[in-house]
Amino acid sequence: MKLLAIGVSHHTAPIEVREQLAVPPGLVPELLHRIKEERFGREALLLSTCNRVELYTVMSEGRSAEELVGFLAANSGLKDRHLRAHIFRYQAEDALRHVFRVASSLDSMVVGEPQITGQLRDAYRLATDERSAGPVLHRVIDRALSVAKRVRTETGIGREAVSVGRAGVELARQVLGELEGRSALLIGAGAHGKLVARSMLGYGLSELVVTNRTFDRASELAAQLGASAAPMEDMARIMERVDVVIACTAAGRALIRRAELAPVMRRRRLRSLVMIDLSVPRNIDPDVNQLDGVYRFDVDDLRQVADVGVEKRRAAAVDAERIVTEESARAWRQIQAEGYVSRIGGVARRAEQIRLAELERAGLSGLDPKQLRDVDAMTRAMVKKILHPAMVRARALAEAGDHATLDALLAHLGEEGEPR
């Protein structure tokens, strides 16, 4: 069983690479189907967030991780060699441990943030709906979510996290000073955008306006936040008077460009405007930073702010890493053992086929029904007693993780042919 975790994250690739590799939500099902149809993997799950694009697969026989890298590069339009410089590859137990670390937010930009667990759960639900997640990924993700719950329960990692929302507040305060009496525009309904907006409201923000491609969705979110809603067409007019713009949509393109923002800044008389772009691909063109008075930040800037609190989280993270290491080692043994259960059962099924074939060959038509039942029961018991010690041994080897000895034993028992 070839479990593979492959992709990019904020640890391995800048935002320019991540946004090219990002897969819009509506195209994820198509990508999952292509992976199976083109026989890159028997199972597949894609996790695409602002900080990572990761593919978890059970590789098909004869396929390699490097072939899958080429597939991802072609799908994104990136040059193969450019992607290879940034992509990570984990296989077998290392892949399982990586999934556990992601689920437990140990691999997150803000260690301890809870959003990643929900994002992984959503990705798993989609893969299940599309029938691209099979028995192996079911076990992997189910155990990963359990480990994440244990980490959050048994360590202080969640309490010590410097949230994305707080990081956004700190970026705004670097430019504007205190937020009391300030105003902001939230574009989109993304989870991180809502976190930053809530945090700013907690620091004294006096007005928040929410806009979204769907006005009803903007109104719904505004009601939750105690804000007002506005249609997307009013975005430029609102930017003329607010102090902060927070963009977090799944548009997959720039919604605000330098040419469009320049007249807005002139009407603002160059009054400072903080722009926090939480989207990948980015919603605010980086070129706007060339305009006087504009201070644009993205998710990688939030990471730098969050890293300031790393010392406070270090002790909790050490405990969390220990839990993940223990759980991944235990889970890998169990997953491997479960994979061998079918092979062990195959030996018993093969033996039963041979027993039935020999009974038919023996020509027992002269026996009455009771005698036939007795012969059937006797031969069934004989086969069971002959195989029992070897089957017990095989299960013990599977549980112990001694796969080399187990492979030899199954071969000796005739996994692919008659017992020798």
**Is residue 129 domain-shared with residue 189, that is, in the same domain?**
no
Mean per-residue pLDDT, 351-365 = 86
What is the distance of C-alpha 161 from the center of its chain?
Answer: 20
**Is residue 41 domain-shared with residue 145, that is, in the same domain?**
yes
Residue 277, domain member (yes or no) = yes
50 catalytic residue (yes or no): yes
**Is residue 15 domain-shared with residue 34, that is, in the same domain?**
yes
Grouping H, G, I as helix, E, B as strand and the rest as coil, residue 121 is: helix
**Is residue 135 domain-shared with residue 192, that is, in the same domain?**
no
Chain mean pLDDT for the chain: 86
Residue type at 35 in one-letter notation? I
pLDDT at 161 over 60: no
Q: pLDDT band at residue 416, thresholds of 50, 70 and 90?
A: very low
The string of pLDDT tens digits covering residues 23-54 is 888 899 999 999 999 999 999 999 998 889 99
**Is residue 183 domain-shared with residue 51, that is, in the same domain?**
no
Question: How many domains does the chain fold into?
Answer: 3
**Is residue 105 domain-shared with residue 86, that is, in the same domain?**
yes
Residue 324, domain member (yes or no) = no
Residue 321, domain member (yes or no) = no
Span of 5-14, 16-25, 266-275, 333-342 with lowest mean pLDDT: 333-342
pLDDT at 307 over 80: no
| Residue 112, domain CATH | 3.30.460.30
Paired tokens of 400: 């112990």
| Residue 285, domain CATH | 3.40.50.720
Which of 154, 178, 200 delimits the end of a domain?
Answer: 154
pLDDT at 76 over 90: no
Burial of 369 per CB tally in 10 Å (0-12, 13-18, 19+): exposed
**Is residue 141 domain-shared with residue 245, that is, in the same domain?**
no
Distance CA 288, CA 367 (A): 93
Neighbours of 140 (CB within 10 A): 26
Grouping H, G, I as helix, E, B as strand and the rest as coil, residue 397 is: helix
Contact assessment for residue 111 and residue 310, using Cβ atoms and an 8 Å cutoff: yes
pLDDT on residue 286: 93
Question: Alpha helix locations (H) across 204-280?
Answer: 215-225, 235-239, 258-267
Residue 235, domain member (yes or no) = yes
Ramachandran area for residue 405 (φ above 0: left; ψ -120 to 50: alpha; else beta) = alpha
The string of pLDDT tens digits covering residues 200-250 is 998 899 999 999 988 999 999 999 999 999 999 999 999 999 999 999 998
Residue 183, domain member (yes or no) = yes
Q: What global pTM score does this model have?
A: 0.69
The string of pLDDT tens digits covering residues 254-280 is 999 999 999 999 999 878 999 999 888
pLDDT at 283 over 60: yes
pLDDT on residue 417: 41
Q: Which residues pair with 244 in a beta bridge?
A: 184, 274
Paired tokens of 411: 């071969």
Span of 22-26, 76-80, 89-93, 268-272 with lowest mean pLDDT: 76-80
Contact assessment for residue 80 and residue 70, using Cβ atoms and an 8 Å cutoff: yes
Grouping H, G, I as helix, E, B as strand and the rest as coil, residue 273 is: strand
Say what percent of the chain tops pLDDT 90.
46
**Is residue 274 domain-shared with residue 140, that is, in the same domain?**
no
pLDDT on residue 363: 82
**Is residue 18 domain-shared with residue 146, that is, in the same domain?**
yes
pLDDT at 59 over 80: yes
Angle among Cα 280, 168, 83 to the nearest 5 degrees reads 25
Domain hosting residue 402, numbered range: 341-413
Q: pLDDT band at residue 419, thresholds of 50, 70 and 90?
A: very low
In residues, how long is the chain? 420
The catalytic residue among 13, 35, 50, 221 is 50
Q: What is the DSSP letter of 14?
A: -
pLDDT at 72 over 70: yes
pLDDT on residue 162: 58
Which of 287, 307, 327 delimits the end of a domain?
Answer: 307
The string of pLDDT tens digits covering residues 128-154 is 999 999 989 999 999 999 999 999 888
Are β-strands 207-212 and 244-247 bridged in parallel, bridged antiparallel, or unpaired?
unpaired
pLDDT on residue 159: 63
Q: pLDDT band at residue 163, thresholds of 50, 70 and 90?
A: low
Residue 378, domain member (yes or no) = yes
Q: pLDDT band at residue 345, thresholds of 50, 70 and 90?
A: confident
pLDDT at 186 over 70: yes
Say what percent of the chain tops pLDDT 70.
92
pLDDT greater at residue 410 or residue 126: 126
**Is residue 250 domain-shared with residue 187, that is, in the same domain?**
yes
Which of 264, 288, 307 delimits the end of a domain?
Answer: 307
Q: pLDDT band at residue 176, thresholds of 50, 70 and 90?
A: very high
Neighbours of 67 (CB within 10 A): 14
**Is residue 350 domain-shared with residue 246, that is, in the same domain?**
no
Distance CA 375, CA 94 (A): 51
**Is residue 182 domain-shared with residue 70, that is, in the same domain?**
no
Residue 148, domain member (yes or no) = yes
Residue 318, domain member (yes or no) = no
- Sign of the Cα torsion 48, 54, 56, 60 reads positive
pLDDT at 78 over 50: yes
